[in-house]
Structure 1
Amino acid sequence: MKASQFTVSQLKYPQIWLLAIGAGLIAINLAVLWKANNSSLLGMTFLFWAAISSLVWEKRYSLNLESEIFSSFFGLTLIALLLIKSISLTSFGVFLYLSPVILAIGLALLASGFKGLKQYKAELFILFFLSLPKLLSSWLDISLLTAKFTTLILWYTGFEVARNGTLIYLPTGSVEVYSGCSGIELIFQLVGLALLFLLMFPQNLKYKILIPFVAGTLAFIVNALRVALMAILVAQGHMEVFDYWHEGDGSLVFSLIAVLLFGLFCWFHLGRSELRNKDATESSK
């Protein structure tokens, strides 16, 4: 072994050490999200961390745990800067969304170096989906599309509704669909879950395209229903209830509904896949 290399496998029980370090850092990351009072991001990040940790643990015996001194130093620097930023955090923004993937890159560098990053490329890519809504929010705005679809929902359900841009008018009130209410964050989160599903249950090309499409479509429709409900509440003068569904815990209910609907879709899809495989096996006998 070269003197310029640090081999994690030389340590006694290296996987346990890495597990302990990773678990501690993930706990800190979740605590920061808790402090930020972003329940939606906290729930999704917890789910992503749990799934990705499980995937990495399953392939632990095939991982190359060798990191060069520079890679280890760079990884530790990333982690240290992340911890310092978390401690001194006075405002919450893009950092919250970027912190999981930065933490994951630092851990991967510490464990396997730059050459070993390819072992975690799928997991890193999926974590990156948590940060995409904030990174793309400056130029990817679907508020107008959400407003149009919400207006269509209200019209089909019998309400007298009109629209001007992102403003939705009912006879006794109106709401405006801002970028934060457009559903883009929920769409990316559900597409990230779809990619996690594909990573855990490999599919053919058809379903690799279909499953993320279904996830994004479900997220968009569920969010539009939420906007429609808020428009009705404003029109009826129920502002306290509106605040609950807009910024309170009620906003999480629709995220949960979207996740549950997507989970049901995946469950039925797996069930049908097992039946197809069983039929194919029996017919080949």
Structure 2
Amino acid sequence: MRLTAKSASINKIEFFLLGIGTSLIIINLFLIWKSGIIINFYINSAFFILICLSLKEKRQKLKFESGLPATILGLLLLACVFISSQNQINFVVFSLFSPVMSGLGLAFLASGFKGLRQYRIELIAMIFLSTRTLIYALSNYLDISPVTAKLSTAILWYTGFTVKLSGTIITFATSAVKVYGACSGMATMLDMFSLGILFIFIFNLKWKQKILVPVVAIILGFIVNALRVALMAILVNQGDSQAFNYWHDGDGSLIFSMISALLLCGFCWFLLSMNQQEDQSILGS
């Protein structure tokens, strides 16, 4: 009888926490969607799905024991998230603190200070989402367009085009293209870095590989973006404004992001295959 009552109490707690957690996810994703940066919505959605699946996997092992101080602190953190989401505050500020505050608030409410270690992976993922926002904001002050212009010029030169580079201006015989900071690839590199971190959470990789995957992700993002810049420079030189708009602002810009993501998936598949072969050779010896 006592066991049944305790089980019913835990189910009520789980249902209560599930409702709060779902509300927090909806709030965060809705505000990200309103920001208009769709790729941020997809990346945050992927991380939230990862967190939900991770919690579901270890659901039976979680201990729901929270004291009064931890409960009060958790409620305060969650209240700050709910209240700030209803007010017109800076989106960057909200998205910087909201994931961490949401994760800590829910963890304190569920398992108190002592049970915080149970949610180590999930909290690290939430911290990364906040850190990603900070890096995204700081990237506006870091201009790598000269480096992008150099690589794009090199690609054009080695593919047979006669071009010259002056600063960030790629010059053809009859036209010139300026590589602006927004086209430098910082956003693409950050998105690829985020995807690399996501793969680290999902796949069982070795420590050296966990360092290698984000580095390769950033390099792939930079190189593929430089290819995109080179293509757009060719289109400008040819005077094809319709094709330029497609690859610059239209669906074509997403194709290059998909290419980068597929290349990173292929690299991770290669690492996993290599690890599997090593494991099989160890078992066979």
By how many angstroms is 1:139 displaced?
Answer: 4.4
Q: 1:77 to 1:248 in 2, by over 3 A?
A: farther
How far apart, in 2, do the equivalents of 1:176 and 1:250 lie? 18
Partner of 1:242: 244
Q: Does 1:273 align with 2:266?
A: no
Q: 1:133 to 1:13 in 2, by over 3 A?
A: same
Say if 1:40 and 1:255, in contact at 8 Å, map to a contact too.
no
Equivalent position to 1:136, from 119, 138, 158: 138
Partner of 1:103: 102
Over residues 34-55 of structure 1, what are the superposed CA-to-partner deviations in whole Å (9 max), with x where a residue is unaligned? 2222111111111121122212
Partner of 2:27: 28
The 5-angstrom pairing of residues 1-285 of structure 1 reads 11-89=10-88, 92-93=91-92, 95-96=94-95, 99-118=98-117, 119-120=119-120, 121-171=123-173, 172-178=175-181, 180-283=182-285
What amino acid is the match of 1:82? V
By how many angstroms is 1:129 displaced?
Answer: 4.5
Q: 1:20 to 1:31 in 2, by over 3 A?
A: same
Say if 2:66 and 2:110, in contact at 8 Å, map to a contact too.
yes
Q: Secondary structure at the match of 2:66?
A: strand
Q: 1:62 to 1:141 in 2, by over 3 A?
A: farther
Say if 1:40 and 1:252, in contact at 8 Å, map to a contact too.
no
How far apart, in 2, do the equivalents of 1:149 and 1:130 lie? 26
By how many angstroms is 1:115 displaced?
Answer: 4.6
By how many angstroms is 1:29 displaced?
Answer: 1.9
What amino acid is the match of 1:177? Y
Say if 1:129 and 1:188, in contact at 8 Å, map to a contact too.
no
TM-score, L = length of structure 2: 0.82
How far apart, in 1, do the equivalents of 2:257 and 2:108 lie? 33
Q: 1:96 to 1:211 in 2, by over 3 A?
A: same
The structure with more radius of gyration: 2
Q: 1:103 to 1:235 in 2, by over 3 A?
A: farther
Say if 2:236 and 2:244, in contact at 8 Å, map to a contact too.
yes
Q: 1:170 to 1:106 in 2, by over 3 A?
A: farther
Q: Which runs of 5+ in 2 are unaligned?
A: 1-7
